[in-house]
Structure 1
Amino acid sequence: MPHADSLILTLVGGFVLAFVFGMAANRLKLSPLVGYLVAGIVVGPHTAGFVADTELAPQLAEIGVILLMFGVGLHFSPADLMKVRKVAVPGALVQIGAATALGWALGRLLGMGDLEAALMGFALSVASTVVLLRALEERRQVKGEIGGIAVGWLIVEDLVIVIALVMLPLLIVQPGQALGAAELAKSIGWTLGKVAVFVGAMLFIGPRVLPWVLVRIAHTKSRELFTLGVLAIALGIAWVAYAMFHSFALGAFLAGLVLNSSPLGHNAAERSLPLRDAFAVLFFVSVGMLFDPSILVREPLTVLGILGIVIVGKALAALAITFAFKLDKPTSLTIAASLAQIGEFSFILAALGVSLGALSQQTHDLILAAALLSISLNPFVFALTDRLGGKPKPPAPPTAQPVKLIDVV
């Protein structure tokens, strides 16, 4: 492929096929994410026909990750999380631990080392925020108690992932490069110190500077400049975070979190939404390009085992937690169904594991196969939970008041 047109061909192939397969998935009552992943498989190197630029696509996907995390920060509400903290915080942490343990146990049975098995389990523990929000929106449950707990649960998982993306490069080193206990503790302490300074500066200086910048840009009354300003803030802060501790995710999340508290936060979210959606599509397409679909034929039982952890194991763990907190049956079943899938952050963790040499390409493909199948099956999981009593009963109509007859004199 000529270098001069590789970007254009990658964008055209990615967007056109993502639209076609996304529409097909939507007609089949599946998440469009399934279509985007299939589009990536079609243009990837593991299938015949046109092959997109496999070196350029991951860079475009990185922009998608930045904008996804920026969007998470823009929609993160500490006040909403505090309302459901008694359930969401321990629930998310226990569920992550349970899923990681199940993944580790299966990985050990498959002959993986402890590190690879644990990282696979950790990747399987994180549900997709995109899939969850779409399912709750279709059921009109985003604003209710069920939606509040489910979204708060996912927010805690997202925060854990942000921390993991910063810490994993320190904890996972190449063979022959292992650090001593003192050196490792020093490296972790230094990184955590930089993270603390960065977060403190963002939370202290950011609310005083970034809203002021947005107001000044808004006074120009130029939609283009406002959109560019929002993107410049998101990408710029993400780059600073990457330069300090090799994590685009934390900087983008904090940028969104600061702007969310500003008077123009809602406008910032609206302006960034189209580009966020576009690059998120490219992110899923690039993930599909890295997936070798032959794993479904070569390792069908292993795929089923991993899928069982995602759908059955995580759902049962969520049910046990919610029942322990004495939530009602519809709420417990809905949260369990919401978490019975994995998505974008599992892809990010899997890619990071491969780049660090902690995951093999086969394990990466197994995680992607479980994600693709779990997202496809999630509507059927919700349908099953509805049959088991997961759908809240509609409120009873108000009783008619007896009409009093008044004599007119």
Structure 2
Amino acid sequence: MAHSVALIHTIAAALGLALALGFFATWLRLPALVGYLLAGVVLGPFTPGFVADAGLASQLAEIGVMLLMFGVGLHFSLGDLLAVRKIAVPGAVVQMMVATALGMSLAIWWGWGLGGALVFGLALSVASTVVLLRALETLGILDTHTGRIAVGWLVVEDLAMVLVLVLLPPLAGWLGGTTQDVDGANLWKTLGWTLLQVGGFVALMLLVGRRLFPWVLWQVARTGSRELFTLCVVAAAVGIAFGSAALFGVSFALGAFFAGMVMRESEFSHRAAHESLPLRDAFAVLFFVSVGMLFNPAVLWDRPLQVLAVVGIIMVGKTLAAAGLVLAFRYPLNTALTVSASLAQIGEFSFILVALGASLGLLPPEAASLVLAGALISMALNPLLFHTIAPLQAWLLARSALARRLEQRDDPLAELPMSTDSRYLARQVVLVGYGRIGRRVASALIASDIPFVVAEQNRELVEALRADGVAAVFGDATDPAVLIQAHIARAAMVVIATPGTLDVRQIIDTAKTLNPAIETVVRSHSDEDARRLRQEWGSTVFVANDALAVAISQHVLERTQSRRSRPTAPAPLHERG
């Protein structure tokens, strides 16, 4: 009974205090994650007052890790990653190498061992997916190309960290941990066996799991029971994670990640994500609280310079490395600033890695507190960093010739090829954005043999379009130079298929300035925005919900009228009056 009471005390105190401090953090316009970590600090052994049971908290945290990684796998889209692979993959790998090298150099200078320095550097190199997604949603740029680059970058980091979590335990002895030391031959044997187990698990999940578990989910969904459906999703996440650890020696994190991946194959994946979200969020809170319990606030006054150095690597070193890499791939300055700001924090994978490194005897006691201090400070300052992007960009463009050259540099994809058919240069349609809506518009234009030019921020898409013989220019359509290259001055119409309202106004303003007679067609998600666009610019605006309602209504009316026009069979004799 005492054990049960301790469990209840731990859960009640953790959730209650996390709610209060999370609410206070959001009131200060900080991520709620900061409040959850502070709740753990208050409940931890390094602060006076009630101390939660650390053992129970760590077990609850393991469930939180499983559900967090299950959510990452459930939202992992290989297609989205492939769309930005040319920048996300090399960018994330190089940025992680730079941040890891900076962290290792700092730790070795402090006198730490090689293994501890490596784990410490890796912990500083990976950003929080949770913080990033919430920041991009708040700014309304999650569905933009810049947002997709940032998310793809984080997905690559997450995958790299999953690999690190798999390889670290067998390497711990060689790196100086407390596990049994191994010689070179045994080390390769251990690594080979570990990779073989992981490979067997991955093969089983991809070959069997991706067919079996969606089928199971379908059978449960057919019962119509919401409770059974939610139970099936959670049982799959926890069961696969536990089974992978018991049978294949794979970490809970990797097992849960692949559980989410195979569940994504089901047509009920969105419902699975929605149904499991409350439970996943609750246990994720317990995970962050348990991490906060490891933090010793004394590190802030005992090691202030070390804390400052850690924050510097996270918010300056990573930011500059990411910005330089994005600019090296010839993306606009705004994209570089947004992506670099997205990475200027650390989060859940850092905590998982630090906890694993401490359990393997690789990290000194102060390492967890230094990483947590860096996480708390970087998460608190990250929203402010996002708000400085626009004024910083304006300041740089006004005062720096280099910034202006970066914004307007020569790029072969930023102008139409000389071989472009002249029919595209007169009375054509300029199509801004080649996402889901833009593709359908382009297909309709091709079917009707109407010439058009695409303006798109995704370099890979522009390259693919040109390879298919479609006229396309790379760049942000809010930049007048991009619309000029799309020959907006001689176009009959501009179709803006991008979701951003502020960008839409800038694009229309530029288009009308260069071609006052041009017709503007815009998509919108809000009736209010649609009304303003019609009043201010005379645009033709399609609102998502309205267009859907019109399509459904038209289908219903057509079907109803067709049935009314059919001759009605006479009623059977026994039904006649």
The TM-score, its normalising length taken from structure 1, stands at 0.96
Residue 254 (structure 2) pairs with residue 250 (structure 1) = yes
How many angstroms apart in 1 are the aligned matches of 2:190 and 2:327?
41
SS at match of 1:55: helix
User: What is the distance in 2 between the residues matched to 1:4 and 1:68?
Assistant: 25
1:52 alignment counterpart: 52
Q: Distance in 2 between matches of 1:81 and 1:402?
A: 36
The aligned counterpart of 2:201 is 198
- The code of the aligned residue for 1:387 comes to P
Q: Which runs of 5+ in 1 are unaligned?
A: 404-409
**1:4 CA drift (Å):** 3.3
Total equivalences in the alignment: 403
Q: 1:8 to 1:402 in 2, by over 3 A?
A: closer
Residue aligned with 2:296, SS? coil
5+ residue gaps, structure 2, are 396-475, 479-502, 520-577
Q: 2:237 aligns with which of 226, 234, 237?
A: 234
For CA contacts below 8 A with separation 6 or more, give which structure has more relative contact order: 1
Distance 1:390 1:115, change over 3 A: farther
Residue 334 of structure 1 contacts residue 390 of structure 1 at CA under 8 Å; is this kept in 2? no
Q: Could you say which residue in structure 2 is the equivalent of 1:118?
A: 118
Does structure 2 retain, via aligned residues, the 8 Å contact 1:330–1:390? no
Alpha-carbon distance, 1:402 to partner: 8.2
**Aligned ranges 1:15-94 → 2 under 5 Å:** 15-94=15-94
Q: Is the 8 A contact 1:43 1:50 kept in 2?
A: yes
| Structure possessing the higher radius of gyration over alpha carbons | 2
Deviation at 1:386, TM superposition (A): 2.5
Q: Which TM-score applies when normalising by structure 2?
A: 0.68
**CA separation of 1:176 and 1:77: change in aligned 2, threshold 3 A:** closer
SS at match of 1:50: coil
Q: Distance in 2 between matches of 1:153 and 1:223?
A: 35
Distance in 1 (alpha carbons) for counterparts of 2:241 and 2:394: 40
| Residues 1:338 and 2:342 are matched in the alignment | yes
Distance 1:214 1:104, change over 3 A: same
State the Cα distance separating 1:176 from its structure 2 match.
7.8
Pick closer, same or farther for the CA change 1:402–1:149 going to 2, 3 Å.
closer
Partner of 2:382: 378
The residue type paired with residue 123 of structure 1 is A
- The separation in 2 between residues aligned to 1:73 and 1:390, in whole angstroms, is 38
Hey, what's the Cα distance between the residues in 2 that align with 1:125 and 1:362? 18
Equivalent residues of 2:178, 2:362 under 8 A apart: no
Structure 1, residues 249-293: CA drift from partner, whole Å, max 9, x if none?
Answer: 111111101111211111111111110000001111111111111
Q: 1:407 is matched with which residue?
A: none
Displacement of 1:206: 1.4
Match of 1:186 in 2: 189
Deviation of the 1:345 alpha carbon: 0.5
Which one-letter code corresponds to 1:196 in the other structure?
G
Q: Deviations over 1:217-248 (max 9, x none)?
A: 01111100000001111111101221222400
Q: CA deviation at 1:125?
A: 0.2
The CA RMSD over aligned residues, in Å, is 1.7
Where does structure 1 differ by over 6 angstroms across 4 or more consecutive aligned residues? none
Cα deviation, residue 381, structure 1: 1.5
> Which residue number corresponds to residue 321 of structure 1?
325
Distance 2:113 2:198 in 1: 30
- Aligned residues of 2:179 and 2:360 also touching (Cα < 8 A): no
Q: Distance in 2 between matches of 1:207 and 1:100?
A: 34
- Give the aligned residue type for 1:186: K
SS at match of 2:224: coil
What percent identity do the matched residue pairs reach?
Answer: 55
Partner residue in 2 for 1:210 = 213
Q: Of the candidates 280, 296, 308, which is equivalent to residue 304 of structure 1?
A: 308
What amino acid is the match of 2:215? W
1:267 aligned to 2:274?
no
Query: Residue type matched to 1:227 in 2?
Result: T
1:176 and 1:206, CA in 2 relative to 1: closer, same or farther beyond 3 A? closer
Contact 1:71 1:253 in 2 (8 A): yes
- Using the alignment, how far apart are the partners of 2:37 and 2:261 within structure 1? 29
Give the secondary structure class of the aligned counterpart of 1:131.
Answer: helix
Aligned equivalents of 2:37 and 2:196: distance in 1? 38
